Structure 1
Amino acid sequence: METRKTKQEVQQRYNGAVKRRKWEDPPEDPEAVKNFDPASRVKRRKSIILLGYSGVNYFGMQRNPGTKTIEEDLLRAMLKQNWINDEGFRQPQQIQFQRAARTDKGVSAAVQVVSIKLPDNLDVEALNSELPEDIRVYAVKRVTKGFNSKTNCDARTYTYTLPTIAFAANEEKVDINAYRLPADRLKRVNEVLSLYVGTKNFHNFTSRKEFLDPSVKRFIMSFECETPFVPEGSMAEFATIKIKGQSFMLHQIRKMVGLTIAVVRGLTDSAIIEKAFGQERYGIPTAPGLGLVLSRIHYDKYNKRYGEDGCHETLEFEKEEPAIQEFFKHHIASTIVETELSSNSMMEWLEKLPLHSYEPRDENEPSEWKPRNRKDDNDDDDE
């Protein structure tokens, strides 16, 4: 049994009478030296990676074996640049990898934030050279030890860009290149969007959620359609809807947009929105995923608490704004317009929209969405 040190022995150590054991390096193993991983013993600090991506050619942000995802390409590039080691690549949770929002198949992000433990003095441009053109890392920033990009997020802003012909009356026959959204119709769109603002029960705007589930109550801060525009090189008019909320469930935004289009086109009355917040089940049409973009991640509380402590930067990304706008313009906005005009995803969806039923649905009627093998599909975030 180990005996406790006497007061005298403790004092001798503090006075230097008892020397500390000198550290001796273990004998070199040639094989171990040969296989040494330089990323394995580097001191790591909690950081964030600020990035953007065009999701058109990807099956979402979250890593999913056998599919092309943003995380897979990002982690592989980080491994090549020794930002992470093999263990971090195989099990990102070991280096506290956490995305701020999970985007689904085809959905893009002008701004996405990943919190992770990383070494200091990293070369962002070298990492970008390993990434495909549709993924761009803007910056790496130090954050507090306990920072989590998801749980520290106060709000998220998404945009949804679509051809304005989606808001034409259902019986109106007009060419996509000739249609221009009248001012009074834009006003009508915003009147309908305003019905979603506030704390509502969105159980009908996602999948596999019940009315009494506390997680279906979500707070929408703003929801507005901006002034229409004609993109460079296009004859068709487009508009961008911007929505800001604390958090969103799977498919929630696309269903909100889908039902808004149905109301504005005259396929159902605006009263359906208030009914959908109630206990009865309704089948809500889901707009195509192409136009949806994660636009901003908001960290207001974090910035207020740590942004002026002299040790940490605010997470407002003003310095990176020019790079964000450039990437958005050339790799996201242009891709949305080009893909829409070539694939006609919105036009094909509009053709089927009149077939949708807006009557209360039987509890046993199957959902239009088929569940996938993913953990916590509804735990944040839309698309």
Structure 2
Amino acid sequence: MLKSLRNNYVLCIARRWSSSDATTDTAPALRRSKRIKTSRERREHFDAHSRKAEGEGNHIPFPTATQERRLPKKKVALYLGFNGTGYQGMQWNPTASSIEQTLFEALCKAGAVSSLNSTDPKKDPLIVKKINANLPEQIRVWGYTHVMGSFHAKNSCNAREYEYWLPTYTLMPRPPLSLRHCPKVIKPVREYPTDIRIASPSDGDTDAAGYIEPNSPEEFALKSSSYRIDAERLEKFKQAMSMFEGTHNFHNYTIARAYADPSAHRHMMKIQVSEQPTYYQGTEWLSVKLRGQSFMLHQIRKMLSMAMLAARSSSPLTIIDRSFEEKKINIPKAPALGLLLDRPLFQHYNQRIENRSDREPICFDQFQNEMKMFKQEWIYSEIFKSDKADQVFDNFMLMVDSQEGPAFKYINEHGVIPPESVISSKYQ
């Protein structure tokens, strides 16, 4: 799941946990007494559920009073959040360090998983604290909710809410070529590891056209700390993002999807840009929250990129409407650094159980304060620090501005896609 070690998630998974009254539940015993009515039936039941010692005729029964017994199962949804830095993905991988493996080990150490049944945590009012005590600080469990047996954390999710952070200097207008102090020299080969790759302008040519050097730390510091977005440009960016709301054909916002492919149609429920910027060490940042039924690969990053390119230029926002049409264009991917999954949503599941007194809806709002503090310490601050150290967004804008050829010429004052910007693809 993790495409970058800096991706972060708040999500819900399902486990089978034991009930709180497991040790006092007499129903199984009553059922057994009804089934086994005679001594013969009891002996047959005992024989079927015991084993003989090798070479002896004595029965060795299962488990003794001092041994751990199996407990009835209850299925729960586990709420958690994490920063994936240092891990090699979310899902269990026996050859890699994953979030799921670390979480499972913490469940075992906390006594939430029995040795007889590796998916039976004991219901304990302090179990969440015990689990967190065995987790690194970058992984937190918020709580859990008893769910129906048919619940599936992935399949029962009917919508997701993502958040994307971008520094406002990405919306700084690109200066005309005549006013640029020192245009970047494109080199045929990469001389330094920090050199930025510039894509080839030739259709179908996967080789790089060249490389450019990043801005110096002094240039970047001046740019990132001095720029402040004005109200007009912020409003244009908000309008650009709002044009993605509703159902559209997003074939240009992913890979390997044709315009005629029905799966390219996606529904964006709500997109909200923060009213006020956030500041970190002099740099101004904006937050964008996107709620949709489902998202395709790279879709959010390309949506943010298109909105950035349109808002920082004189291009009318109708270019976004044009991007939903049949013509295939190259929309660059905004950095993955700013993207995180804020929460999955389960409205359809919650509607199914709303009249059941023995089930609670799955909702993250009850952990809002804990999640906010965690994101500020382990998510947002890491995004801001990484951009400050690695100039991630500045390098992205530098790549776009230094691009040769017609690839991005659809960003123009007329809001039209010129023929030279249309790319050839087998996914037409």
TM over 0.5: yes
Deviation of 1:71 after TM superposition, in Å, equals 2.4
Alignment pair present for 1:186 and 2:234: yes
> Structure 1 vs Structure 2: percent identity of aligned residues?
28
Alignment of 1:126-145 (within 5 A): 126-145=130-149
Decide which of 199, 213, 217 is 2:261's aligned counterpart.
213
Alignment pair present for 1:292 and 2:339: yes
1 CA distance for matches of 2:422 and 2:93? 35
Contact 1:37 1:85 in 2 (8 A): no
Contact 2:160 2:291 in 1 (8 A): yes
Q: Which residue of 2 aligns with 1:363?
A: 425
1 CA distance for matches of 2:267 and 2:38? 63
- When the two structures are superposed, what TM-score results if normalisation uses the length of structure 2? 0.67
Deviation of 1:343 after TM superposition, in Å, equals 1.6
Cα distance change of structure 1 residues 191 and 302 upon mapping to structure 2, 3 Å threshold: same
Alignment of 1:347-358 (within 5 A): 347-354=394-401, 355=403, 357-358=407-408
Alignment of 1:14-163 (within 5 A): 21-22=41-42, 23-24=45-46, 26-27=50-51, 41-64=70-93, 66-81=95-110, 83-84=112-113, 118-121=120-123, 123-163=127-167
Contact 2:167 2:284 in 1 (8 A): yes
Cα distance change of structure 1 residues 282 and 57 upon mapping to structure 2, 3 Å threshold: farther
Residue 175 of structure 1 aligns to a residue whose secondary structure is helix
Cα distance change of structure 1 residues 45 and 79 upon mapping to structure 2, 3 Å threshold: same
Aligned AA for 2:262? P
Contact 2:277 2:285 in 1 (8 A): yes
1 CA distance for matches of 2:35 and 2:81? 57
Cα distance change of structure 1 residues 16 and 141 upon mapping to structure 2, 3 Å threshold: closer
Q: Which residue of 1 aligns with 2:286?
A: 239
Residue 243 of structure 2 aligns to a residue whose secondary structure is helix
2 CA distance for matches of 1:197 and 1:74? 36
1 CA distance for matches of 2:35 and 2:343? 57
Further displaced range: 79-88 or 175-184 = 79-88
Structure 1 residues not aligned, in runs of 5+: 1-13, 90-116, 366-383
Q: Which residue of 2 aligns with 1:94?
A: none
Contact 1:307 1:314 in 2 (8 A): yes
Tell me which structure has the larger Cα radius of gyration: 2
Aligned AA for 2:336? G
Contact 2:240 2:317 in 1 (8 A): yes
Aligned AA for 2:296? M
Residue 256 of structure 1 aligns to a residue whose secondary structure is helix
Deviation of 1:143 after TM superposition, in Å, equals 0.5
Alignment pair present for 1:197 and 2:245: yes
Contact 2:343 2:364 in 1 (8 A): no
Instruction: Give aligned pairs, total.
Output: 322
- When the two structures are superposed, what TM-score results if normalisation uses the length of structure 1? 0.74
Aligned AA for 1:223? I
Residue 131 of structure 1 aligns to a residue whose secondary structure is coil
1 CA distance for matches of 2:36 and 2:50? 26
Cα distance change of structure 1 residues 119 and 58 upon mapping to structure 2, 3 Å threshold: closer
2 CA distance for matches of 1:20 and 1:199? 68
Deviation of 1:28 after TM superposition, in Å, equals 7.6
Contact 2:111 2:122 in 1 (8 A): no
2 CA distance for matches of 1:342 and 1:212? 43
Aligned AA for 2:237? V
Cα distance change of structure 1 residues 188 and 267 upon mapping to structure 2, 3 Å threshold: closer
1 CA distance for matches of 2:338 and 2:154? 23
Q: Which residue of 2 aligns with 1:304?
A: 351
Q: Which residue of 2 aligns with 1:258?
A: 305
CA offset digits 1:76-125 (Å, max 9, x no partner): 43344454579998xxxxxxxxxxxxxxxxxxxxxxxxxxx654415222
Aligned AA for 1:162? L
Q: Which residue of 2 aligns with 1:372?
A: none
2 CA distance for matches of 1:200 and 1:223? 14
Q: Which residue of 1 aligns with 2:392?
A: 345
Deviation of 1:208 after TM superposition, in Å, equals 2.0
2 CA distance for matches of 1:16 and 1:75? 38
Deviation of 1:314 after TM superposition, in Å, equals 1.7
2 CA distance for matches of 1:207 and 1:150? 23
